Chain A
Amino acid sequence: MGCDGFRRIRAWHRLTAFTVASCLLALPARGDIIDRVLALAGGDLILLSDVQTVTIFGLLPDAPDETDALTWLIDRTLTLAEVNRFIVAEPEAGVIDADLADVRGRFSTPEEFQRALAAVGMTETELARVVRDNRRIDSYLRQRFGSALQPTEAALARYYRDYVDRYSVGEVAASFDRVRAQVQRDLQEERRQALIADWVDRLRLRATVIRLDEDE
């Protein structure tokens, strides 16, 4: 193929590339996502801004990423629906105020706190409601799963053996008799958490839960 032929081909290449580039530039650039649906849990929507509320305000103390926050919100939504079916004692106003003050304290200035609220589309009252519902959930779970069975001595001893490191100071393990009360509390709490987890699993099975974040 001669030079002219090459030139002709290159001209075609340039023209094609120019056309493609022009078309791409002419297409409207997609904007920034400011909110979206992330999940549907038992008929309730969970939005991106809900997840951001959890992370920005530190409502889940373990500081998880957004995926964990969404999982927590799904479980919370299902649990709250169950809690609302029963009469659960309202937390005292002082408790909610203290929780809110704690949340506020995570921001350097009140203005920063207000800006954070605006960013997730919430008011202080609505945030207080979230805090209140968290307390109500805790209260319900304590009420429902608080009276775990007293573990047997054998179970306590086995738990102590399995987690003896927890009861060690440096290299020295505390004797079972010395930490027996603590072992009992830990084992009971572990069993309680297992019961709650099992209950929430069953809630999830009963309800329709759709996670849209998993589509991507």
Chain B
Amino acid sequence: MVLVDRSPGPTGRRPWAARCLPILVLGGWLSYAPGAVADVRDYLGLPIVEVNLDFDGTEPPPGSDELVVTRVGTPLSMADVRESIWHLFSLARFSDIRVDASPRGGGVALQYELTPVRIVDRLAFRGDLKLARRRLREAIAERYGARPRFDQMADVAEVLRGVYSDEGYLKARIATSPIDRGGGLTTLDLEVSAGERARLATLTIDGPVLQPEPVIFRRLNLRIGEYYAREALERRLADYADNLRDRGYFEVVVGHAIAGRSDGRQIDLTLTIDPGPRVSVEFEGDPLPSEIRETLVPVAQESSVDEDLLEDSSRRLLDYLWRLGFPRAVVNYRRTAADLELRIVFHVDQGPLVRVGRIEIEGYETFPRSVLEDRLGVASGDPFVEASFAVGVAAMAEAYREAGYSDARVEMQVVEEPGPSGSGPIAHFRITVTEGPRQRVRSISIEGAPKSVSTRLEGAITAGAGEAYERSIALADRDAILQELLSLGYESASVRVDASFDPDTHQVDLIYVIEAGAQILVEHVLIAGQFRVSAATIRRELTLVPGQPLSQDRLAESRRRLSALGLFRRIRITDISHGSDTRRDVLVAVEEAPATTLGYGGGFEVGTRLRQGRAAGGFAVERIEFAPRGFFEIGRRNLWGKNRSVDLFVRASLRSRNEREVDDGSGEFGLNEYRVLGTFREPRAFGSAAELLVSTFLEQSIRSSFSLRQRGVRVEWRRPLGSTASLSGGYTFNKDRLFDEQFNAEEERLIDRLFPGIALSTFSGTFIRDRRDDPFEPTRGELLSVDTGLAGRTIGSEVGFAKMLMHAFLYRRLGGSSSVVYATGLRVGLAAGFPRTAKVTDDAGNFVLASNGQPLETVVQDLPASERFFAGGSTTVRGFALDRLGDESTIDQNGFPQGGNGLIIINNELRFPVWGNVGAVAFLDVGNVFETVSTMELGRLRGGAGFGLRYRSPIGPIRIDLGFKLDRRDFGSGTREGLTALHVSIGQAF
């Protein structure tokens, strides 16, 4: 370096550079020196020409620009500077914030220097550790969490020194050095030199010992020359103390102290053991059950003979005896101490048992006697418990006061007489009610309400002038007013109700006295933390608006709505107060969830399946089938910054096809059942509250009588109607193809024969009202849904039909709070096909010609198989296997269901708990599938009854149901239906 040559030059002068050095150093210092604290008055009011945020090289938190309220073009105000610092600091991302100002072209340039919080996210141990790294990490995490702050570095070393000391490494040295990895993250390098582990040099016991010292040392596994380990020693000492307590030394105290010698290799250990006196608790007088003695006199459990504990024990024994009807019971105790023994003797004298005799109630008019007896809660023959009577009499008086009899009095007299020989006295009661006049509300007023909200508060009052005064209603109104005030931002509001009674007219003037306090309004709503989600999307869900009241209701609602978006891993909404009593900023800090979601899973399905049995003459036989299945789902949320999403769902099952008959044992096993579904979801479509779903699907399914391949597109518009109802409408265009049909060829429906492949164009609408308390295991509430569909040739369908399916379910708990639930349901399906002519074809697909040589035409009016109703199975009528409910019009002679245009299902089920998570049900289901709507008759309903077990698992109730048919019928082939159907499934039947 040239600047370090300070030798004089030839002329005796120092070189030029050396002469310039002080100037350069000064120049450099001026440039780098920390900014001086300015007289801000030099800058105040100047227009801001530039605002820079310096994040010290780290990634700026998203939305941080918005948090700075010192905007270019506005005059500089310190209030804005302060507010900006508050906003930025509330992100909890910075440990320091400075604001520098400098003059710039007639204005002021601001620079926010933000120092990111430095987090120690990695610990690197080096050197002679002697202890396991995991142990050291756990000790640090226990104290400072998994990511200690940078400024806790010194404390971390101290904690580790403690850990080493506890293990006998008295001279352990720990040096810490941070390694900055950028982005506010630091690796803390811990260089450890554990040193030599100290051994026990001497052992001493301080205190009156019960055993010889060597015995105690052996018991505690202590030997001279062994290593010292604090935790292990404390554990053994605690065991020793517990052992002494078990032997009656309830006040035993143990401890230990160490003194390390200067070389750090030896320790002098002193044990403190004070066993205290040996305590025995005895009872004399009237006997008490042993469990009562142990529970109410918990000397052993508490390991204490404290005077308070003994007094409490006496009181508990007395309460116990009073509750049993021994009002004259006496309990006391005495202590006798001798040497190292302490004897505590409880004396119990329970006295005579007193029972309740007659209970006379007089003077009542308003309530029937049964109501008053219910309030009293005591009946003749009960043990006399004075406290219970006092509570009952007070409850009677309260009943009158609640009904407007504010002067009502209830008085009680007790007359005791000797009971029959061999039994205790009898207490007879006379309860006199003086009802007094009933008070009516004369006027209702509100005092102290802010003018702007008084009308709204009046609307919260349900009591009315002229009505009977009921205190409970007045209090409920008070609470409603308070709730209104809180929702209007009066967070420190209080309301009390003053009732002034007029003794002459028996009228009450109700005055709700309000101390509203200041109304808190939202000043700014600040949004931070979002990367991909646009601020507008977040803002749209917020019910907190600048200028509007800041209420906890709105805050909670905003949080709920943001959570419902499913876009965020964490949402923090906090109100920030800075200087103003009445205005707060609301900071919405979010942490986005990953935009791409991935899901996959696998499992298997075991169920009965209908197959054609060749040996049975093509008749349907049920076979147990095992089908492995799996799914994969990938989704992308938050498209284009909005809450739009796109999902792809693929599901496939390994099953054999229907085409092969089971008897030949060669079912074609493969991915014969699958579903591919792609969905685009646009919430709040077109600025409305409705969401738009566009989906395309490709599906192949194996049904009881046929297999079906479907592909198509669907557009659905769904709008919530309040919190319990929704309405949706949609359009579907799909192409269905039937194959592997198992119907009896002679009975196959014409439409299935003429249109094995069919295009359907359908408009549909659905209304759902769901008021169940739990969608998976409802115990109360109702569910109503109505699905409608309309397909027509004019809109591109090859056949036309109209269809409606209605579900109505009701759930009730029996006997009030009982856990027995009664569930009932009604499902009705109605469908009709629109007639159309079609050319008849033969099996080879050629047109059948009429006698005139033209293709023969016929009228088709059925619904295609994919749209017809089927029933039977675990969720419909459980006496029947899947889809096998029907009669000769909808089940062919081989026993294969053909479906129908009419459906009725009625379910009744009683659900009750058995033990723990196991419950049971009894059910009666009736229903049927009808060929047409006109043939629907209640007299043709078929029933199934049975019982089942439920196990409440984390994934929902696991269900086993066994259904019995109430009527069995023969198929055309002469085969009789089976009696039972067994169903194993997850979730309730309905």
Known: A10-B15, A34-B101. A119 touches B89 (CB 8 A): no
Does A30 contact B85, Cβ atoms closer than 8 Å? no
Binds A, one of B75-83, B474-482, B500-508: B75-83
Neighbouring B residues of A115 by C-beta, 8 Å: 41
Neighbouring B residues of A14 by C-beta, 8 Å: 16-17
Q: Does B97 contact A (CB under 8 A)?
A: yes
Binds A, one of B28-36, B173-181, B909-917: B28-36
Does B581 contact A36, Cβ atoms closer than 8 Å? no
Contact with A along B16-42 (1 / 0, CB 8 A): 110010011001101111111111111
Measured CB to CB, the closest approach of chain A to B475, in angstroms, equals: 21
Q: Does A13 contact B (CB under 8 A)?
A: yes
Interface size of B by CB at 8 A reads: 49
Separation of A25 and B28 alpha carbons in the complex (Å): 8
Which residues in window 69-123 of B have CB below 8 A to A? 77-82, 85-86, 89, 95-102, 109, 111
Separation of A67 and B717 alpha carbons in the complex (Å): 65
Does B78 contact A45, Cβ atoms closer than 8 Å? no
Separation of A61 and B85 alpha carbons in the complex (Å): 28
CB-based nearest B residue for A215 = B96
Q: Does B564 contact A (CB under 8 A)?
A: no
Does B33 contact A30, Cβ atoms closer than 8 Å? yes
Separation of A14 and B21 alpha carbons in the complex (Å): 11
Binds B, one of A122-130, A135-143, A168-176: A122-130
Neighbouring B residues of A17 by C-beta, 8 Å: 2-3, 16-17, 20, 24
Query: How many interface residues does chain A have, given as a range?
Result: 35 or more
Neighbouring A residues of B53 by C-beta, 8 Å: none
Q: Does B362 contact A (CB under 8 A)?
A: no
Does B579 contact A129, Cβ atoms closer than 8 Å? yes
Does B101 contact A32, Cβ atoms closer than 8 Å? yes
Known: A17-B17, A45-B89. A35 touches B82 (CB 8 A): yes
Does A27 contact B85, Cβ atoms closer than 8 Å? no
Known: A34-B38, A125-B581. A210 touches B151 (CB 8 A): yes
CB-based nearest B residue for A25 = B27
Q: Does B131 contact A (CB under 8 A)?
A: no
Q: Does B43 contact A (CB under 8 A)?
A: yes
Measured CB to CB, the closest approach of chain A to B523, in angstroms, equals: 13
Separation of A196 and B28 alpha carbons in the complex (Å): 49
Neighbouring A residues of B101 by C-beta, 8 Å: 31-32, 34
Does A36 contact B97, Cβ atoms closer than 8 Å? yes
Known: A17-B17, A210-B151. A33 touches B36 (CB 8 A): yes
Separation of A47 and B99 alpha carbons in the complex (Å): 11
Q: Does B934 contact A (CB under 8 A)?
A: no
**Per a CB cutoff under 8 Å, which of B15, B31, B41, B81 touches A35?**
B81
Does B78 contact A121, Cβ atoms closer than 8 Å? yes
Q: Does B580 contact A (CB under 8 A)?
A: yes
Does B82 contact A47, Cβ atoms closer than 8 Å? yes
Separation of A20 and B20 alpha carbons in the complex (Å): 11
Does A33 contact B77, Cβ atoms closer than 8 Å? no
Separation of A47 and B40 alpha carbons in the complex (Å): 14
Known: A16-B17, A17-B3, A24-B31. A34 touches B40 (CB 8 A): yes
Does A13 contact B2, Cβ atoms closer than 8 Å? yes
Q: Does B44 contact A (CB under 8 A)?
A: yes
Does A118 contact B37, Cβ atoms closer than 8 Å? no
Does A32 contact B100, Cβ atoms closer than 8 Å? yes
Does A126 contact B32, Cβ atoms closer than 8 Å? no
**Per a CB cutoff under 8 Å, which of B15, B37, B80, B580 touches A48?**
B37
Separation of A31 and B101 alpha carbons in the complex (Å): 5
Separation of A13 and B20 alpha carbons in the complex (Å): 10
- The listed residue with most B CB atoms (<10 A of its CB), out of A21, A35, A45, A125, is A35
Separation of A212 and B113 alpha carbons in the complex (Å): 14
Q: Does A120 contact B (CB under 8 A)?
A: yes
Measured CB to CB, the closest approach of chain B to A83, in angstroms, equals: 14
Measured CB to CB, the closest approach of chain B to A41, in angstroms, equals: 13
Known: A17-B20, A121-B77, A123-B579. A30 touches B40 (CB 8 A): no
Separation of A30 and B89 alpha carbons in the complex (Å): 22
Measured CB to CB, the closest approach of chain B to A48, in angstroms, equals: 7
Separation of A123 and B77 alpha carbons in the complex (Å): 12
**Per a CB cutoff under 8 Å, which of A6, A36, A119, A126 touches B579?**
A126
**Per a CB cutoff under 8 Å, which of B2, B39, B41, B96 touches A36?**
B96
**Per a CB cutoff under 8 Å, which of B28, B31, B80, B111 touches A31?**
B111
Does B100 contact A122, Cβ atoms closer than 8 Å? no
Separation of A24 and B32 alpha carbons in the complex (Å): 9
Separation of A6 and B5 alpha carbons in the complex (Å): 13
Neighbouring B residues of A25 by C-beta, 8 Å: 27, 31
Measured CB to CB, the closest approach of chain A to B598, in angstroms, equals: 38
Known: A16-B2, A35-B99. A30 touches B580 (CB 8 A): no
CB-based nearest A residue for B18 = A13
Q: Does A188 contact B (CB under 8 A)?
A: no
- The listed residue with most B CB atoms (<10 A of its CB), out of A9, A24, A34, A120, is A34
Neighbouring A residues of B33 by C-beta, 8 Å: 30
Q: Does A49 contact B (CB under 8 A)?
A: yes
Measured CB to CB, the closest approach of chain B to A102, in angstroms, equals: 21
Does A24 contact B85, Cβ atoms closer than 8 Å? no
Separation of A16 and B579 alpha carbons in the complex (Å): 53
Does B102 contact A29, Cβ atoms closer than 8 Å? yes
Q: Does A159 contact B (CB under 8 A)?
A: no
Measured CB to CB, the closest approach of chain A to B101, in angstroms, equals: 5
Separation of A12 and B31 alpha carbons in the complex (Å): 24
Q: Does A37 contact B (CB under 8 A)?
A: yes
Neighbouring A residues of B77 by C-beta, 8 Å: 118, 121
Does B38 contact A32, Cβ atoms closer than 8 Å? yes
Measured CB to CB, the closest approach of chain B to A204, in angstroms, equals: 16
Contact with B along A67-96 (1 / 0, CB 8 A): 000000000000000000000000000000
CB-based nearest B residue for A32 = B38
Does B44 contact A119, Cβ atoms closer than 8 Å? yes
Neighbouring B residues of A121 by C-beta, 8 Å: 77-82, 579
Separation of A48 and B16 alpha carbons in the complex (Å): 44
Separation of A25 and B77 alpha carbons in the complex (Å): 30
Contact with B along A154-186 (1 / 0, CB 8 A): 000000000000000000000000000000000
Separation of A29 and B33 alpha carbons in the complex (Å): 9
Provide a sorted-by-A list of 5 A–B residue pairs whose CB atoms are within 8 angstroms. A34-B43, A35-B82, A36-B97, A36-B98, A37-B98
Using A25-B31, A47-B82 as known contacts, list a sample of 5 further A-B pairs with CB atoms less than 8 Å apart, ordered by residue number in A: A25-B27, A27-B31, A29-B30, A29-B102, A210-B95
Which 9 pairs, one residue from A and one from B, show the smallest C-beta to C-beta distance?
Answer: A32-B38, A121-B78, A31-B102, A31-B100, A13-B17, A36-B98, A121-B79, A126-B579, A121-B82
